Structure 1
Amino acid sequence: MPEIKVTPLGAGQDVGRSCILVSIGGKNIMLDCGMHMGYNDDRRFPDFSYIIQNGRLTDFLDCVIISHFHLDHCGALPYMSEMVGYDGPIYMTHPTKAICPILLEDFRKITVDKKGETNFFTSQMIKDCMKKVIPLNLHQSVQVDDELEIKAYYAGHVLGAAMVHIKVGSESVVYTGDYNMTPDRHLGAAWIDKCRPDILISESTYATTIRDSKRCRERDFLKKVHESIERGGKGENEPEGPNLLLHGADGEG
Protein backbone atom coordinates (compact mmCIF):
# COMPACT_ATOMS: atom_id res chain seq x y z
CA MET A 1 0.00 0.00 0.00
CA PRO A 2 1.29 3.51 -0.80
CA GLU A 3 2.58 5.58 2.11
CA ILE A 4 -0.19 8.06 2.86
CA LYS A 5 -0.17 9.94 6.15
CA VAL A 6 -3.36 11.34 7.69
CA THR A 7 -3.04 13.80 10.61
CA PRO A 8 -6.12 15.36 12.27
CA LEU A 9 -5.32 18.94 13.29
CA GLY A 10 -8.87 19.23 14.62
CA ALA A 11 -11.99 17.05 15.00
CA GLY A 12 -9.93 13.92 15.53
CA GLN A 13 -11.99 12.81 18.51
CA ASP A 14 -14.57 15.57 18.85
CA VAL A 15 -17.10 17.49 16.78
CA GLY A 16 -15.99 20.87 15.44
CA ARG A 17 -12.87 22.52 13.93
CA SER A 18 -12.62 19.90 11.19
CA CYS A 19 -9.11 20.05 9.75
CA ILE A 20 -7.30 17.05 8.28
CA LEU A 21 -3.75 17.10 6.93
CA VAL A 22 -3.09 14.49 4.25
CA SER A 23 0.41 13.75 2.97
CA ILE A 24 0.31 11.77 -0.25
CA GLY A 25 3.01 11.25 -2.87
CA GLY A 26 5.14 14.05 -1.41
CA LYS A 27 2.21 16.51 -1.42
CA ASN A 28 0.59 18.05 1.67
CA ILE A 29 -3.11 18.95 1.48
CA MET A 30 -5.23 20.53 4.20
CA LEU A 31 -8.83 19.32 4.09
CA ASP A 32 -11.19 21.82 5.75
CA CYS A 33 -10.20 24.48 8.26
CA GLY A 34 -13.02 24.71 10.77
CA MET A 35 -13.73 26.35 14.10
CA HIS A 36 -14.96 24.79 17.35
CA MET A 37 -17.92 26.87 18.52
CA GLY A 38 -17.66 25.69 22.12
CA TYR A 39 -14.42 27.53 22.98
CA ASN A 40 -13.56 31.22 23.39
CA ASP A 41 -9.77 30.87 23.20
CA ASP A 42 -7.20 29.37 20.83
CA ARG A 43 -8.75 25.93 21.33
CA ARG A 44 -11.47 27.02 18.91
CA PHE A 45 -8.91 26.75 16.08
CA PRO A 46 -7.10 23.69 14.67
CA ASP A 47 -3.63 22.95 16.03
CA PHE A 48 -1.43 24.49 13.34
CA SER A 49 1.69 24.12 15.50
CA TYR A 50 2.19 20.65 14.03
CA ILE A 51 2.96 22.34 10.71
CA ILE A 52 4.55 25.66 11.65
CA GLN A 53 7.14 24.05 13.91
CA ASN A 54 8.81 23.01 10.65
CA GLY A 55 8.39 26.32 8.84
CA ARG A 56 5.76 28.48 7.14
CA LEU A 57 2.35 27.08 6.18
CA THR A 58 2.82 28.32 2.62
CA ASP A 59 6.08 26.41 2.24
CA PHE A 60 4.58 23.21 3.67
CA LEU A 61 1.09 23.05 2.15
CA ASP A 62 0.40 22.51 -1.54
CA CYS A 63 -3.25 23.54 -1.20
CA VAL A 64 -6.26 23.84 1.11
CA ILE A 65 -9.65 22.36 0.17
CA ILE A 66 -12.90 23.40 1.90
CA SER A 67 -15.83 20.97 1.70
CA HIS A 68 -18.67 23.40 2.55
CA PHE A 69 -19.55 26.70 4.21
CA HIS A 70 -20.51 25.61 7.74
CA LEU A 71 -18.21 27.20 10.31
CA ASP A 72 -17.04 23.91 11.79
CA HIS A 73 -15.47 23.29 8.37
CA CYS A 74 -14.38 26.79 7.24
CA GLY A 75 -14.50 29.06 10.31
CA ALA A 76 -10.74 29.16 10.96
CA LEU A 77 -9.82 29.96 7.37
CA PRO A 78 -9.10 33.72 7.83
CA TYR A 79 -7.19 32.98 11.04
CA MET A 80 -5.06 30.41 9.25
CA SER A 81 -4.37 32.45 6.13
CA GLU A 82 -4.06 35.98 7.55
CA MET A 83 -2.89 35.53 11.15
CA VAL A 84 -0.87 32.30 11.05
CA GLY A 85 0.19 33.04 7.48
CA TYR A 86 -0.75 31.12 4.33
CA ASP A 87 -0.52 32.50 0.79
CA GLY A 88 -1.20 29.36 -1.24
CA PRO A 89 -4.31 28.26 -3.14
CA ILE A 90 -7.61 27.58 -1.37
CA TYR A 91 -10.20 25.54 -3.26
CA MET A 92 -13.98 25.45 -2.73
CA THR A 93 -17.07 25.35 -4.93
CA HIS A 94 -18.69 28.52 -6.30
CA PRO A 95 -21.66 28.47 -3.85
CA THR A 96 -19.31 27.91 -0.92
CA LYS A 97 -17.17 30.86 -2.01
CA ALA A 98 -20.29 33.05 -2.17
CA ILE A 99 -21.74 32.06 1.22
CA CYS A 100 -18.60 31.47 3.29
CA PRO A 101 -17.60 35.16 3.78
CA ILE A 102 -21.16 36.05 4.82
CA LEU A 103 -21.14 33.50 7.64
CA LEU A 104 -17.59 34.42 8.65
CA GLU A 105 -18.46 38.12 8.92
CA ASP A 106 -21.65 37.37 10.84
CA PHE A 107 -19.74 35.30 13.38
CA ARG A 108 -16.99 37.94 13.60
CA LYS A 109 -19.58 40.59 14.50
CA ILE A 110 -20.97 38.41 17.29
CA THR A 111 -17.54 37.48 18.63
CA VAL A 112 -15.76 40.84 18.37
CA ASP A 113 -18.37 43.59 18.17
CA LYS A 114 -20.83 42.15 20.71
CA LYS A 115 -18.68 39.98 22.99
CA GLY A 116 -15.55 42.13 22.74
CA GLU A 117 -13.17 39.23 22.20
CA THR A 118 -9.66 39.84 20.92
CA ASN A 119 -7.19 37.70 18.95
CA PHE A 120 -9.78 37.25 16.23
CA PHE A 121 -9.75 38.00 12.52
CA THR A 122 -11.06 41.28 11.11
CA SER A 123 -13.44 42.05 8.25
CA GLN A 124 -10.48 42.95 6.05
CA MET A 125 -8.82 39.63 6.85
CA ILE A 126 -11.93 37.81 5.65
CA LYS A 127 -11.80 39.74 2.36
CA ASP A 128 -8.07 39.12 1.92
CA CYS A 129 -8.53 35.43 2.66
CA MET A 130 -11.31 35.03 0.09
CA LYS A 131 -9.08 36.60 -2.59
CA LYS A 132 -6.95 33.45 -2.38
CA VAL A 133 -9.91 31.18 -3.16
CA ILE A 134 -10.02 29.33 -6.48
CA PRO A 135 -13.59 28.16 -7.21
CA LEU A 136 -14.23 24.56 -8.24
CA ASN A 137 -16.81 23.18 -10.63
CA LEU A 138 -18.30 19.81 -9.76
CA HIS A 139 -17.03 16.86 -11.84
CA GLN A 140 -14.19 18.95 -13.27
CA SER A 141 -10.61 17.78 -12.74
CA VAL A 142 -8.27 20.55 -11.57
CA GLN A 143 -4.51 20.27 -11.90
CA VAL A 144 -3.06 21.98 -8.81
CA ASP A 145 0.45 21.32 -10.12
CA ASP A 146 2.15 18.82 -12.43
CA GLU A 147 1.43 15.91 -10.06
CA LEU A 148 -1.52 16.87 -7.84
CA GLU A 149 -5.04 16.58 -9.27
CA ILE A 150 -8.34 17.18 -7.47
CA LYS A 151 -11.94 16.60 -8.52
CA ALA A 152 -15.05 17.71 -6.61
CA TYR A 153 -18.32 15.78 -6.42
CA TYR A 154 -21.81 16.61 -5.17
CA ALA A 155 -22.19 15.88 -1.43
CA GLY A 156 -25.88 16.72 -0.94
CA HIS A 157 -25.42 18.25 2.53
CA VAL A 158 -25.98 21.95 1.83
CA LEU A 159 -25.77 24.15 -1.26
CA GLY A 160 -22.25 23.82 -2.67
CA ALA A 161 -21.13 20.99 -0.37
CA ALA A 162 -18.57 18.75 -2.05
CA MET A 163 -16.64 15.54 -1.68
CA VAL A 164 -13.19 15.55 -3.25
CA HIS A 165 -11.07 12.92 -4.98
CA ILE A 166 -7.36 13.69 -4.64
CA LYS A 167 -4.82 12.00 -6.92
CA VAL A 168 -1.03 12.08 -6.95
CA GLY A 169 0.30 9.65 -9.54
CA SER A 170 -1.21 6.24 -8.82
CA GLU A 171 -2.14 7.15 -5.22
CA SER A 172 -5.51 8.64 -4.28
CA VAL A 173 -7.68 9.73 -1.36
CA VAL A 174 -11.40 10.53 -1.19
CA TYR A 175 -12.48 13.06 1.46
CA THR A 176 -15.97 14.02 2.53
CA GLY A 177 -17.14 16.58 5.01
CA ASP A 178 -20.82 16.20 5.83
CA TYR A 179 -22.79 14.40 3.13
CA ASN A 180 -26.32 13.14 2.60
CA MET A 181 -27.46 10.02 0.75
CA THR A 182 -31.20 10.71 1.05
CA PRO A 183 -32.60 13.30 -1.38
CA ASP A 184 -35.09 15.78 0.06
CA ARG A 185 -37.23 18.63 -1.26
CA HIS A 186 -34.31 20.89 -2.20
CA LEU A 187 -31.09 18.81 -2.23
CA GLY A 188 -30.19 15.63 -4.06
CA ALA A 189 -28.25 12.64 -2.77
CA ALA A 190 -24.45 12.60 -2.75
CA TRP A 191 -22.86 11.09 -5.85
CA ILE A 192 -19.33 10.18 -6.88
CA ASP A 193 -17.77 8.28 -9.79
CA LYS A 194 -16.88 4.67 -9.15
CA CYS A 195 -13.33 4.68 -7.82
CA ARG A 196 -10.96 2.70 -5.62
CA PRO A 197 -9.08 5.21 -3.44
CA ASP A 198 -6.25 4.06 -1.23
CA ILE A 199 -7.91 5.83 1.70
CA LEU A 200 -11.45 7.13 2.35
CA ILE A 201 -11.78 9.88 4.97
CA SER A 202 -15.42 10.42 5.92
CA GLU A 203 -17.51 12.54 8.26
CA SER A 204 -19.01 10.14 10.81
CA THR A 205 -20.77 12.25 13.46
CA TYR A 206 -24.09 10.39 13.03
CA ALA A 207 -22.71 7.24 11.45
CA THR A 208 -24.34 4.90 13.98
CA THR A 209 -27.69 6.72 14.18
CA ILE A 210 -30.64 4.64 12.97
CA ARG A 211 -33.34 6.90 11.58
CA ASP A 212 -36.96 6.40 10.64
CA SER A 213 -37.78 6.47 6.94
CA LYS A 214 -38.22 9.83 5.26
CA ARG A 215 -41.94 9.14 4.84
CA CYS A 216 -42.33 8.49 8.59
CA ARG A 217 -40.40 11.63 9.51
CA GLU A 218 -42.51 13.80 7.21
CA ARG A 219 -45.72 12.26 8.54
CA ASP A 220 -44.72 12.89 12.17
CA PHE A 221 -43.57 16.39 11.29
CA LEU A 222 -46.92 17.31 9.67
CA LYS A 223 -48.78 15.79 12.62
CA LYS A 224 -46.93 18.11 15.01
CA VAL A 225 -47.68 21.11 12.81
CA HIS A 226 -51.41 20.32 12.78
CA GLU A 227 -51.47 19.70 16.55
CA SER A 228 -49.77 23.03 17.21
CA ILE A 229 -52.10 24.98 14.91
CA GLU A 230 -55.17 23.31 16.45
CA ARG A 231 -53.99 24.58 19.86
CA GLY A 232 -53.79 28.09 18.45
CA GLY A 233 -50.07 28.02 17.89
CA LYS A 234 -48.00 28.84 14.81
CA GLY A 235 -45.65 26.92 12.57
CA GLU A 236 -42.50 28.86 11.72
CA ASN A 237 -39.87 27.61 9.28
CA GLU A 238 -36.33 27.42 10.69
CA PRO A 239 -33.86 28.99 8.19
CA GLU A 240 -30.94 26.60 8.74
CA GLY A 241 -32.70 23.28 9.11
CA PRO A 242 -35.36 21.06 7.58
CA ASN A 243 -37.56 21.10 10.68
CA LEU A 244 -40.02 23.66 11.96
CA LEU A 245 -39.98 25.57 15.19
CA LEU A 246 -43.42 25.08 16.63
CA HIS A 247 -44.59 27.83 18.96
CA GLY A 248 -47.78 26.93 20.84
CA ALA A 249 -49.86 29.66 22.39
CA ASP A 250 -49.83 27.72 25.64
CA GLY A 251 -46.01 27.48 25.60
CA GLU A 252 -45.95 23.86 24.47
CA GLY A 253 -45.07 22.22 21.15
Structure 2
Amino acid sequence: MIADDFVFINANGLYCKYGDFYLDPSLPVKNAVISHAHADHAISGNTEVYCTAPTRAFMELRYSRYAAKIFNIVPYHTSFNVNGVQLTFISAGHMLGSAMVLMEYNGAKYLYTGDYKLQPDATCEPIELGAADVLITESTFADPKVIHPDPVAEIQKLNSIQSNILLGAYATGKSQRLIRMITDHAPQKKILVHHRILPINKIYEAAGIALGNYQLYGRKLMKAQDNFVYIVPPFTFNSYIRATDVKRLFASGWDNLQVNREDSLFISDHVDWNDILTAVKQVNPKQIWTLHGNGKHLQTYFGDNIFVKLLN
Protein backbone atom coordinates (compact mmCIF):
# COMPACT_ATOMS: atom_id res chain seq x y z
CA MET A 1 0.00 0.00 0.00
CA ILE A 2 1.37 3.39 -1.03
CA ALA A 3 1.92 5.80 1.86
CA ASP A 4 1.12 9.31 0.62
CA ASP A 5 3.58 10.77 3.13
CA PHE A 6 6.39 8.26 2.54
CA VAL A 7 8.71 11.15 1.63
CA PHE A 8 8.15 14.88 1.94
CA ILE A 9 10.22 18.04 1.96
CA ASN A 10 11.07 19.82 5.21
CA ALA A 11 13.70 22.38 6.18
CA ASN A 12 16.54 19.85 5.75
CA GLY A 13 15.44 18.38 2.43
CA LEU A 14 13.60 15.28 1.25
CA TYR A 15 12.74 13.21 4.32
CA CYS A 16 11.52 9.63 4.77
CA LYS A 17 9.92 9.58 8.19
CA TYR A 18 9.35 5.81 8.12
CA GLY A 19 13.11 5.18 7.96
CA ASP A 20 14.22 8.44 9.60
CA PHE A 21 16.61 9.33 6.77
CA TYR A 22 17.01 12.01 4.13
CA LEU A 23 17.60 11.64 0.42
CA ASP A 24 20.28 14.11 -0.76
CA PRO A 25 19.63 16.52 2.15
CA SER A 26 20.28 20.22 1.69
CA LEU A 27 21.47 20.64 5.30
CA PRO A 28 23.51 18.25 7.48
CA VAL A 29 21.42 15.48 9.03
CA LYS A 30 21.87 12.31 11.09
CA ASN A 31 21.14 9.79 8.30
CA ALA A 32 21.74 10.75 4.66
CA VAL A 33 21.28 8.58 1.59
CA ILE A 34 23.31 10.24 -1.18
CA SER A 35 22.45 9.51 -4.81
CA HIS A 36 25.56 11.04 -6.38
CA ALA A 37 28.45 13.37 -5.70
CA HIS A 38 27.41 16.67 -7.26
CA ALA A 39 27.54 19.38 -4.61
CA ASP A 40 23.82 20.17 -4.79
CA HIS A 41 23.09 16.57 -3.76
CA ALA A 42 26.10 15.67 -1.59
CA ILE A 43 26.82 18.22 1.10
CA SER A 44 29.35 17.92 3.92
CA GLY A 45 28.69 17.45 7.63
CA ASN A 46 26.20 14.58 7.68
CA THR A 47 26.64 12.15 10.57
CA GLU A 48 26.05 8.91 8.68
CA VAL A 49 26.04 8.57 4.90
CA TYR A 50 24.96 5.71 2.66
CA CYS A 51 26.38 5.89 -0.86
CA THR A 52 28.43 4.10 -3.52
CA ALA A 53 32.23 3.93 -3.38
CA PRO A 54 32.85 6.53 -6.13
CA THR A 55 30.48 8.96 -4.43
CA ARG A 56 32.48 8.65 -1.22
CA ALA A 57 35.73 9.26 -3.12
CA PHE A 58 34.39 12.43 -4.72
CA MET A 59 32.98 13.69 -1.42
CA GLU A 60 36.25 13.11 0.41
CA LEU A 61 38.16 14.88 -2.36
CA ARG A 62 35.86 17.90 -2.09
CA TYR A 63 35.27 18.03 1.68
CA SER A 64 38.24 16.16 3.17
CA ARG A 65 37.57 15.11 6.79
CA TYR A 66 34.30 17.05 6.87
CA ALA A 67 32.68 14.81 4.25
CA ALA A 68 30.85 12.71 6.87
CA LYS A 69 31.47 11.09 10.24
CA ILE A 70 30.51 7.60 9.03
CA PHE A 71 30.35 6.26 5.47
CA ASN A 72 28.39 3.13 4.66
CA ILE A 73 29.51 2.03 1.20
CA VAL A 74 26.90 -0.02 -0.62
CA PRO A 75 27.40 -1.57 -4.09
CA TYR A 76 24.64 -1.60 -6.67
CA HIS A 77 21.98 -4.30 -6.17
CA THR A 78 22.92 -4.92 -2.54
CA SER A 79 19.93 -4.31 -0.28
CA PHE A 80 20.36 -2.63 3.09
CA ASN A 81 18.00 -1.62 5.85
CA VAL A 82 17.64 1.78 7.47
CA ASN A 83 15.25 1.74 10.41
CA GLY A 84 12.83 -0.69 8.82
CA VAL A 85 12.95 0.54 5.22
CA GLN A 86 14.77 -1.67 2.72
CA LEU A 87 16.89 0.23 0.21
CA THR A 88 18.78 -0.81 -2.92
CA PHE A 89 21.05 1.28 -5.15
CA ILE A 90 20.71 0.86 -8.92
CA SER A 91 22.64 2.77 -11.55
CA ALA A 92 21.27 6.17 -12.57
CA GLY A 93 23.54 6.72 -15.58
CA HIS A 94 24.16 10.33 -14.51
CA MET A 95 27.88 10.15 -13.59
CA LEU A 96 30.30 7.66 -12.08
CA GLY A 97 28.76 6.13 -8.95
CA SER A 98 25.37 7.77 -9.38
CA ALA A 99 22.50 5.74 -8.00
CA MET A 100 18.77 5.61 -8.01
CA VAL A 101 17.38 4.55 -4.64
CA LEU A 102 14.74 1.82 -4.60
CA MET A 103 12.91 1.88 -1.27
CA GLU A 104 10.55 -0.88 -0.14
CA TYR A 105 8.18 -0.49 2.79
CA ASN A 106 4.90 -2.13 3.75
CA GLY A 107 4.54 -3.87 0.40
CA ALA A 108 5.12 -0.77 -1.77
CA LYS A 109 8.14 0.20 -3.89
CA TYR A 110 9.32 3.80 -4.25
CA LEU A 111 12.06 4.64 -6.79
CA TYR A 112 13.94 7.89 -6.15
CA THR A 113 15.86 8.80 -9.29
CA GLY A 114 18.18 11.55 -8.11
CA ASP A 115 19.63 12.98 -11.33
CA TYR A 116 19.63 10.51 -14.20
CA LYS A 117 20.05 10.21 -17.95
CA LEU A 118 19.26 7.68 -20.63
CA GLN A 119 21.89 8.83 -23.16
CA PRO A 120 24.88 6.49 -23.54
CA ASP A 121 27.96 7.52 -21.56
CA ALA A 122 31.22 5.56 -21.64
CA THR A 123 32.38 7.20 -18.39
CA CYS A 124 29.73 5.82 -16.06
CA GLU A 125 27.58 2.82 -15.39
CA PRO A 126 24.57 2.56 -17.75
CA ILE A 127 21.16 3.37 -16.34
CA GLU A 128 18.93 0.61 -15.02
CA LEU A 129 15.20 0.97 -14.58
CA GLY A 130 12.87 -1.44 -12.83
CA ALA A 131 9.28 -1.58 -11.74
CA ALA A 132 8.05 0.54 -8.83
CA ASP A 133 4.72 1.69 -7.46
CA VAL A 134 5.90 5.30 -7.11
CA LEU A 135 8.45 7.02 -9.36
CA ILE A 136 10.04 9.96 -7.52
CA THR A 137 11.67 11.71 -10.46
CA GLU A 138 13.66 14.84 -11.07
CA SER A 139 11.84 17.10 -13.52
CA THR A 140 14.62 19.51 -14.48
CA PHE A 141 13.71 19.34 -18.17
CA ALA A 142 10.17 17.93 -17.87
CA ASP A 143 8.80 20.11 -20.65
CA PRO A 144 7.59 18.92 -24.08
CA LYS A 145 9.59 21.79 -25.61
CA VAL A 146 12.88 20.39 -24.29
CA ILE A 147 14.31 17.62 -26.47
CA HIS A 148 18.06 17.18 -26.20
CA PRO A 149 20.00 16.69 -29.43
CA ASP A 150 22.26 13.74 -30.16
CA PRO A 151 25.38 14.31 -28.01
CA VAL A 152 27.70 12.76 -30.60
CA ALA A 153 26.46 15.21 -33.26
CA GLU A 154 27.01 18.05 -30.78
CA ILE A 155 30.62 17.02 -30.10
CA GLN A 156 31.28 16.62 -33.81
CA LYS A 157 30.60 20.35 -34.16
CA LEU A 158 34.06 20.88 -32.67
CA ASN A 159 35.62 19.38 -35.81
CA SER A 160 34.69 22.44 -37.87
CA ILE A 161 36.12 24.98 -35.41
CA GLN A 162 39.65 25.88 -36.46
CA SER A 163 40.67 28.05 -33.52
CA ASN A 164 41.52 26.88 -30.02
CA ILE A 165 38.43 26.28 -27.89
CA LEU A 166 37.79 27.32 -24.27
CA LEU A 167 35.20 24.78 -23.17
CA GLY A 168 33.32 25.38 -19.92
CA ALA A 169 31.97 22.32 -18.10
CA TYR A 170 31.22 21.17 -14.60
CA ALA A 171 34.35 19.59 -13.17
CA THR A 172 32.77 16.39 -11.88
CA GLY A 173 31.04 14.14 -14.38
CA LYS A 174 30.58 16.45 -17.34
CA SER A 175 34.29 17.14 -17.92
CA GLN A 176 35.14 13.45 -17.92
CA ARG A 177 32.33 12.67 -20.34
CA LEU A 178 33.57 15.42 -22.66
CA ILE A 179 37.15 14.14 -22.61
CA ARG A 180 35.96 10.69 -23.65
CA MET A 181 33.62 12.03 -26.34
CA ILE A 182 36.18 14.41 -27.82
CA THR A 183 38.75 11.61 -27.91
CA ASP A 184 36.26 9.38 -29.73
CA HIS A 185 34.51 11.85 -32.05
CA ALA A 186 36.92 14.76 -32.56
CA PRO A 187 40.24 12.91 -32.36
CA GLN A 188 42.28 15.62 -34.07
CA LYS A 189 41.62 17.92 -31.11
CA LYS A 190 44.20 18.05 -28.33
CA ILE A 191 42.55 18.15 -24.90
CA LEU A 192 43.88 20.28 -22.04
CA VAL A 193 42.31 20.20 -18.58
CA HIS A 194 42.28 22.69 -15.74
CA HIS A 195 44.26 21.63 -12.66
CA ARG A 196 41.05 21.31 -10.59
CA ILE A 197 39.71 18.69 -12.99
CA LEU A 198 42.83 16.51 -12.85
CA PRO A 199 42.23 14.85 -9.40
CA ILE A 200 38.66 14.05 -10.41
CA ASN A 201 39.98 12.36 -13.53
CA LYS A 202 42.25 10.27 -11.31
CA ILE A 203 39.24 8.93 -9.38
CA TYR A 204 37.62 7.91 -12.65
CA GLU A 205 40.75 6.18 -13.85
CA ALA A 206 41.24 4.41 -10.51
CA ALA A 207 37.73 3.01 -11.00
CA GLY A 208 38.79 1.58 -14.36
CA ILE A 209 37.22 4.25 -16.58
CA ALA A 210 39.30 5.02 -19.67
CA LEU A 211 38.85 8.73 -20.31
CA GLY A 212 41.07 9.11 -23.37
CA ASN A 213 43.83 11.53 -24.28
CA TYR A 214 44.37 14.71 -22.30
CA GLN A 215 47.09 16.70 -20.57
CA LEU A 216 47.31 19.39 -17.93
CA TYR A 217 46.88 22.94 -19.23
CA GLY A 218 49.95 25.03 -19.96
CA ARG A 219 49.78 28.65 -21.11
CA LYS A 220 52.46 28.19 -23.76
CA LEU A 221 50.49 25.33 -25.29
CA MET A 222 47.39 27.44 -25.87
CA LYS A 223 49.45 30.15 -27.54
CA ALA A 224 50.46 27.64 -30.18
CA GLN A 225 46.99 27.76 -31.81
CA ASP A 226 47.15 24.04 -32.45
CA ASN A 227 43.64 22.59 -32.26
CA PHE A 228 43.49 22.66 -28.48
CA VAL A 229 40.32 22.25 -26.44
CA TYR A 230 40.88 23.59 -22.93
CA ILE A 231 38.24 22.24 -20.52
CA VAL A 232 37.69 24.49 -17.51
CA PRO A 233 35.19 24.60 -14.62
CA PRO A 234 32.57 27.37 -14.56
CA PHE A 235 34.41 29.80 -12.25
CA THR A 236 37.46 29.78 -14.53
CA PHE A 237 35.34 29.97 -17.67
CA ASN A 238 33.60 33.08 -16.36
CA SER A 239 36.91 34.71 -15.46
CA TYR A 240 38.06 34.35 -19.08
CA ILE A 241 35.25 36.54 -20.40
CA ARG A 242 37.72 38.69 -22.35
CA ALA A 243 39.79 35.81 -23.68
CA THR A 244 40.93 36.43 -27.26
CA ASP A 245 41.88 34.11 -30.10
CA VAL A 246 39.71 31.31 -28.70
CA LYS A 247 36.18 30.11 -29.32
CA ARG A 248 34.20 30.12 -26.05
CA LEU A 249 31.66 27.31 -25.58
CA PHE A 250 29.83 25.97 -22.52
CA ALA A 251 28.58 22.39 -22.54
CA SER A 252 25.12 22.29 -20.99
CA GLY A 253 21.51 21.35 -21.55
CA TRP A 254 20.46 24.87 -20.53
CA ASP A 255 19.85 27.37 -23.30
CA ASN A 256 20.87 30.32 -21.11
CA LEU A 257 24.37 28.84 -20.59
CA GLN A 258 25.14 28.83 -24.31
CA VAL A 259 27.51 31.73 -24.90
CA ASN A 260 27.70 32.13 -28.69
CA ARG A 261 24.89 32.87 -31.09
CA GLU A 262 26.66 31.04 -33.89
CA ASP A 263 27.84 28.02 -31.86
CA SER A 264 26.14 25.97 -29.15
CA LEU A 265 27.00 22.74 -27.37
CA PHE A 266 23.87 21.19 -25.93
CA ILE A 267 25.13 18.23 -23.93
CA SER A 268 23.04 17.40 -20.89
CA ASP A 269 23.42 14.81 -18.16
CA HIS A 270 19.70 14.95 -17.32
CA VAL A 271 16.66 13.36 -18.91
CA ASP A 272 14.65 15.44 -21.36
CA TRP A 273 10.91 15.19 -21.96
CA ASN A 274 11.05 12.08 -24.14
CA ASP A 275 13.47 10.37 -21.74
CA ILE A 276 11.15 10.93 -18.79
CA LEU A 277 8.28 9.40 -20.73
CA THR A 278 10.50 6.41 -21.56
CA ALA A 279 11.43 6.05 -17.88
CA VAL A 280 7.79 6.16 -16.83
CA LYS A 281 6.95 3.44 -19.37
CA GLN A 282 9.70 1.17 -18.04
CA VAL A 283 8.98 1.76 -14.34
CA ASN A 284 5.22 1.54 -14.89
CA PRO A 285 4.32 3.38 -11.67
CA LYS A 286 0.91 3.92 -10.18
CA GLN A 287 2.01 7.39 -9.11
CA ILE A 288 4.69 9.93 -10.12
CA TRP A 289 6.11 12.40 -7.61
CA THR A 290 8.28 15.18 -9.06
CA LEU A 291 11.27 17.15 -7.75
CA HIS A 292 13.80 19.73 -8.98
CA GLY A 293 11.72 21.37 -11.66
CA ASN A 294 8.20 21.88 -12.90
CA GLY A 295 6.09 18.73 -12.87
CA LYS A 296 2.94 20.42 -14.13
CA HIS A 297 3.54 19.31 -17.71
CA LEU A 298 3.56 15.71 -16.51
CA GLN A 299 0.31 16.30 -14.65
CA THR A 300 -1.27 17.58 -17.86
CA TYR A 301 0.18 14.81 -20.02
CA PHE A 302 -0.90 11.89 -17.84
CA GLY A 303 -4.17 13.41 -16.70
CA ASP A 304 -6.30 10.77 -14.98
CA ASN A 305 -4.11 7.87 -16.16
CA ILE A 306 -1.32 8.32 -13.59
CA PHE A 307 -1.53 10.46 -10.45
CA VAL A 308 1.24 13.07 -10.48
CA LYS A 309 2.18 14.88 -7.27
CA LEU A 310 4.54 17.87 -7.11
CA LEU A 311 6.80 17.54 -4.07
CA ASN A 312 8.44 20.95 -4.50
Give the TM bin, normalised by the shorter chain: 0.5 to 0.7
Structure 1 residues 163 and 206: CA distance shift in structure 2, 3 A: same
Query: 1:156 touches 1:180 (CA, 8 Å); kept in 2?
Result: yes
What corresponds to 1:236 in structure 2?
229
SS at match of 1:207: coil
In structure 2, give the amino acid aligned to 1:140: T
Structure 1 residues 211 and 221: CA distance shift in structure 2, 3 A: farther
Shift, 1:151, TM fit: 0.3
Query: What TM-score does the superposition give when structure 1 sets the normalisation length?
Result: 0.61
Query: 2:163 touches 2:245 (CA, 8 Å); kept in 1?
Result: no
Structure 1 residues 204 and 221: CA distance shift in structure 2, 3 A: farther
- Structure number with greater CO (CA < 8 Å, separation at least 6) is 2
What corresponds to 1:74 in structure 2?
42
2: CA distance, partners of 1:135 / 1:240: 28
1: CA distance, partners of 2:22 / 2:77: 20
2: CA distance, partners of 1:99 / 1:93: 10
Structure 1 residues 211 and 235: CA distance shift in structure 2, 3 A: same
Query: What TM-score does the superposition give when structure 2 sets the normalisation length?
Result: 0.50
In structure 2, give the amino acid aligned to 1:187: C
Query: 1:97 touches 1:133 (CA, 8 Å); kept in 2?
Result: yes
After superposition, the CA RMSD in angstroms is 3.4
In structure 2, give the amino acid aligned to 1:30: Y
SS at match of 2:90: strand
2: CA distance, partners of 1:248 / 1:73: 32
What corresponds to 2:82 in structure 1?
144
1: CA distance, partners of 2:124 / 2:10: 30
Gap runs ≥5 in structure 1 = 11-16, 35-45, 49-56, 82-86, 106-122
SS at match of 2:55: helix
SS at match of 1:143: strand
Question: What is the correspondence of 1:45-124 to structure 2 with a 5 Å cutoff?
Answer: 46=27, 58=30, 63-75=31-43, 77-78=44-45, 81=46, 87=47, 89-105=48-64, 123=65
Shift, 1:161, TM fit: 0.8
2: CA distance, partners of 1:189 / 1:204: 20
Gap runs ≥5 in structure 2 = 166-188, 190-223, 249-312
Identify which of 14, 23, 34 aligns with 1:31: 23
1: CA distance, partners of 2:230 / 2:92: 24
Structure 1 residues 252 and 164: CA distance shift in structure 2, 3 A: closer
What corresponds to 2:14 in structure 1?
20
2: CA distance, partners of 1:149 / 1:240: 38
SS at match of 2:35: coil
What corresponds to 1:218 in structure 2?
155
Query: 1:234 touches 1:248 (CA, 8 Å); kept in 2?
Result: no
Q: May I ask how many residue pairs the two structures share in their alignment?
A: 184
Question: What is the correspondence of 1:149-228 to structure 2 with a 5 Å cutoff?
Answer: 149-192=86-129, 194-197=130-133, 199-208=134-143, 209-224=146-161, 226-228=162-164
